[in-house]
């Protein structure tokens, strides 16, 4: 049964006005408006779907439409003082009673305490959930910009009375104390790129200077930093010192990219473990839990958060430390293990000789778990929803690959027991090309895919499939060797570190949606093995990565596949690998608590963070103008080309603006034009990402026109 209702406003409207309250306090008022919605009934639950909103929530709590707004506040604001006040709301109970189901639970290949599918604290309480339709979910800083992220949940649900209250429109005020002096711009012109490494690497690498020269030829101002700059301390203290150096110098040198070259083994200061000469920061997303420690390079990208707010030397503790996740710089890494400078030089040569990736994407999709599978991770208790890579390719192909003109090659798990309630994926599934086997992946790799985005189980040195080989005890239940007398599952390799020797050394970008394939303490980890041979840029997880149970769909949250989805989308739509990963992670919502932080910490980039995919599709189509009849195939590449062009103009305009500022010129008329153009570019990118290329193209054209005008004015200003 479906029934449709329409809220009174067709489009969400955001009305912004800043006004000072009293001295020292500023505020901004906003009006948030809901959209048309439908309430669908399936499986005994009502599910609300609202245009422009994601239906999602905290695992086990009611699943409701949500949308976030990133409200920019002045640099002078003290983000710790942010306060949200609901000024008024148009709310009313809607007719009928509803059974709103819970948000999916999460899982990983790790011990998992099974919970009731519903959070009874919420479901047995005679009260509206959530308490307020609008909440502050995060504050963060990205260089000199500060933001308050608020979330609007138009429906509130009382699980006892089963009534829904709809807030069709709400007015809120976000306020803050003024604490800081106004921002003064970077002192350096041009875009800075910092290589953070060791004196040993500088001495022993034969290609480091060549690589720095290559980056300089691409327009970057290069800085190479070693112990001479960040100090000789080792272990955790070295990680802290490197970040201190970056904090102090990146704003001065206008640094955009940071490449770490060295051994990433992190230091756990609570033990006498070994650690590398350029360690990742060991973090404790689950405070106090040694099992959930997670090494990360994110620590070197968010330079404004306080990663050890409580001062206990355990970094990145959810609920205790103040990581802000907004990236100030984009970070990549080349691991160097055991003084293997030959491997480093080979990787640097590959970067220098990079000619661009092909416009093709390989999607090997394994099955995560069967419906009601009983295994060691869930304590042999039924209740897990079937979770299958099957559900990802259609969205990747429809929303990312097709609009950009990329070809795709999809592999599914088509092996396993048939006819016992847990069939494998049928060969009629969306885009199916081949069974996901080790041999098929290796053979297909030779075709030099631009992107390989896999969904699979993982270990430090391999990714694997999993399927139901045999119902040995004939009970129609999938069980492993812990839950039944004999193990009914098989875990064939998808790709191992050893396999990379057999791979063609292609110009491929990987997103390894698996657990542990980037485990930095192991020099044989699959992420590094692929960087050496088989890929030019790799993203993998340093520890366990968490997935949402059930049918995957993109809802803008921090599940592992969604991090991959935004990363791949951002890459295809013209961001560098560093921008694609860190901007992607920063935009996602985290209703998962510490597991969300573990996912955000876990996925790191091995590669040059300034590297882009090949850009043949960035060239304008013949004639250079939008054709009369087209839509996706032609207009999307054109829109993307325009976005790239606008970005280049933006860089030029900003550089000129700085010169004008430094020269004491009056730029009060021109600066807002550039700000406006930057917003238009962001909007164009979002439209393009959503396969909405007509408005994307239009916004990019508007940005280009504004920027051309601003550049013209700046040049006049500078010439007099």
Q: Which residues in this chain contact Ca ion in the complex, by CB under 5 A? A: 141, 265, 273, 275, 302, 304, 308, 310, 312, 314, 317, 321, 324, 326, 471, 473, 475, 477, 479
**Is 289 exposed, middle or buried (CB count within 10 Å of its CB: 0-12, 13-18, 19+)?**
exposed
Q: How far is CA 650 from each of CA 263, 635, 661, 677, 696, rounded to the nearest angstrom?
A: 36, 22, 16, 8, 17
- What are the backbone angles phi and psi of residue 56, rounded to the nearest 5°? -165, -175
Handedness of CA 465, 469, 472, 477 (dihedral sign): positive
Nearer to Ca ion, 471 or 644 (CB): 471
* Cα(621)–Cα(401) distance, integer angstroms: 18
**C-alpha closest to that of 354 among 112, 536, 208:** 536
Distance in Å, CB of 389 to Ca ion, minimum: 23
Distance in Å, CB of 620 to Ca ion, minimum: 36
Nearer to Ca ion, 308 or 608 (CB): 308
* Cα(389)–Cα(373) distance, integer angstroms: 16
Query: Which stretches within 193-335 are classed as H helix?
Result: 199-204, 208-217, 227-230, 236-253
* Cα(342)–Cα(75) distance, integer angstroms: 46
- What are the backbone angles phi and psi of residue 456, rounded to the nearest 5°? -160, 170
Residue 59 is classified by DSSP as B
Distance in Å, CB of 480 to Ca ion, minimum: 10
* Cα(519)–Cα(229) distance, integer angstroms: 28
Nearer to Ca ion, 24 or 481 (CB): 481
**C-alpha closest to that of 97 among 23, 32, 37, 41:** 41
Distance in Å, CB of 139 to Ca ion, minimum: 10
Nearer to Ca ion, 326 or 578 (CB): 326
Distance in Å, CB of 233 to Ca ion, minimum: 16
Nearer to Ca ion, 56 or 256 (CB): 256
Distance in Å, CB of 251 to Ca ion, minimum: 12
Q: DSSP 3-state helix, strand, coil percentages of the chain (rounded to 5)?
A: 30, 30, 45
- Residues 32, 170: contact at Cβ < 8 Å? yes
Task: Please name every residue paired with 17 in a beta bridge, in sequence order, or none if there are none.
Answer: 29
Distance in Å, CB of 274 to Ca ion, minimum: 5
Nearer to Ca ion, 275 or 509 (CB): 275
Distance in Å, CB of 421 to Ca ion, minimum: 11
- Residues 356, 402: contact at Cβ < 8 Å? no
Nearer to Ca ion, 147 or 687 (CB): 147
Distance in Å, CB of 419 to Ca ion, minimum: 14
- What are the backbone angles phi and psi of residue 656, rounded to the nearest 5°? -65, -40
Nearer to Ca ion, 273 or 675 (CB): 273
* Cα(124)–Cα(116) distance, integer angstroms: 13
Nearer to Ca ion, 321 or 388 (CB): 321
Nearer to Ca ion, 308 or 507 (CB): 308
- Residues 379, 113: contact at Cβ < 8 Å? yes
Distance in Å, CB of 479 to Ca ion, minimum: 5
Nearer to Ca ion, 251 or 626 (CB): 251
Distance in Å, CB of 701 to Ca ion, minimum: 32
């Amino acid at each position: 049964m479906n029934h449709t209702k329409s809220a009174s406003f067709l489009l969400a409207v955001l009305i912004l006005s800043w006004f000072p309250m009293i001295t020292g306090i500023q505020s901004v008022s906003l009006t948030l408006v809901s959209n048309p919605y439908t309430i669908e009934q399936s499986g005994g639950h009502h599910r609300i779907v609202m245009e422009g909103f994601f239906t999602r929530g905290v695992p086990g709590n009611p699943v409701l439409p949500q949308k976030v707004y990133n409200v920019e506040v002045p640099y002078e604001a003290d983000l710790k003082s942010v306060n949200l006040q609901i000024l008024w709301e148009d709310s009313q109970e809607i007719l009928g009673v509803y059974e709103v189901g819970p948000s999916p639970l999460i899982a990983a290949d790790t011990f998992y305490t099974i919970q009731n599918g519903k959070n009874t604290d919420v479901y047995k309480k005679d009260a509206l959930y959530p308490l307020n339709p609008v909440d502050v979910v995060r504050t963060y800083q990205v260089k000199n910009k500060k933001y308050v992220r608020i979330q609007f949940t138009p429906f509130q649900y009382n699980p006892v009375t089963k009534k829904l209250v709809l807030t069709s429109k709400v007015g809120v005020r976000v306020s803050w104390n003024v604490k800081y002096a106004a921002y003064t711009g970077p002192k350096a012109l041009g875009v800075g790129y910092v290589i953070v490494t060791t004196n040993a690497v500088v001495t022993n690498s034969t290609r480091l200077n060549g690589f720095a020269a290559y980056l300089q030829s691409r327009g970057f101002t290069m800085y190479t930093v070693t112990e001479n700059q960040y100090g000789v301390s080792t272990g955790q203290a070295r990680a802290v010192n490197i970040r201190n150096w970056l904090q102090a110098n990146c704003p001065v040198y206008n640094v955009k990219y940071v490449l770490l070259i060295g051994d990433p083994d992190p230091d756990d200061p609570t033990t006498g473990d070994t650690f590398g000469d350029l360690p990742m920061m060991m973090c404790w997303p689950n405070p106090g839990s040694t099992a959930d420690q997670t090494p990360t390079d994110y620590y070197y990208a968010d330079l404004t958060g306080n990663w050890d707010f409580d001062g206990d030397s355990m970094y990145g503790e959810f609920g205790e430390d103040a990581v802000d996740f907004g990236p100030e710089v984009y970070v990549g890494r080349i691991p160097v293990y055991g003084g293997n400078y030959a491997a480093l030089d080979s990787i640097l040569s590959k970067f220098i000789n990079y000619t661009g990736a092909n416009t093709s994407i390989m999607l090997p999709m394994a099955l995560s778990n069967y419906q009601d599978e009983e295994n060691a991770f869930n304590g042999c208790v039924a209740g897990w929803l079937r979770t299958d890579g099957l559900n990802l390719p259609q969205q990747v192909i429809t929303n990312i690959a097709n609009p950009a003109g990329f070809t795709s090659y999809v592999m599914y798990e088509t092996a396993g027991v048939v006819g016992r309630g847990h069939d494998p994926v049928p060969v009629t599934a969306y885009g199916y090309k081949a069974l996901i086997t080790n041999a098929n992946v290796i053979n297909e790799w030779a075709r030099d895919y631009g992107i390989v985005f896999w969904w699979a189980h993982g270990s430090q040195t391999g990714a694997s499939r999993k399927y139901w080989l045999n119902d040995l005890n004939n009970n129609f239940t999938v069980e492993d060797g812990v839950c039944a007398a004999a193990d009914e599952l098989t875990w064939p390799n998808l790709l191992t570190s050893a396999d990379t020797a057999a791979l063609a050394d292609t110009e491929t970008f990987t997103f390894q949606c698996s657990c542990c394939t980037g485990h930095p303490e192991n020099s044989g980890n699959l992420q590094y093995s692929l960087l050496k041979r088989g890929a030019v840029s790799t993203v993998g997880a340093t520890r366990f990565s968490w997935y949402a149970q059930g049918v995957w769909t993109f809802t803008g949250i921090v599940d592992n596949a969604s991090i991959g989805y935004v990363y791949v989308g951002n890459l295809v739509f013209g961001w560098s690998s560093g921008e694609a990963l860190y901007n992607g992670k920063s935009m996602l919502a985290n209703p998962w608590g510490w597991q969300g932080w573990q996912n955000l910490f876990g996925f790191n980039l091995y590669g040059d963070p300034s590297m882009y995919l090949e850009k043949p599709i960035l060239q304008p189509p013949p004639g250079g103008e939008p054709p009369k009849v087209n839509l996706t195939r032609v207009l999307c590449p054109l829109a993307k080309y325009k976005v790239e062009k606008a970005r280049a103009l933006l860089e030029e305009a900003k550089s000129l603006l700085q010169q004008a500022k430094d020269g004491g010129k009056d730029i009060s008329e021109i600066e807002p034009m550039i700000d406006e153009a930057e917003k238009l570019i962001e909007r164009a990118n979002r439209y393009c990402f959503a396969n909405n290329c007509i408005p994307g193209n239009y916004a990019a054209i508007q940005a280009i026109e504004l920027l051309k005008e601003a550049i013209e004015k700046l040049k006049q200003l500078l010439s007099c």
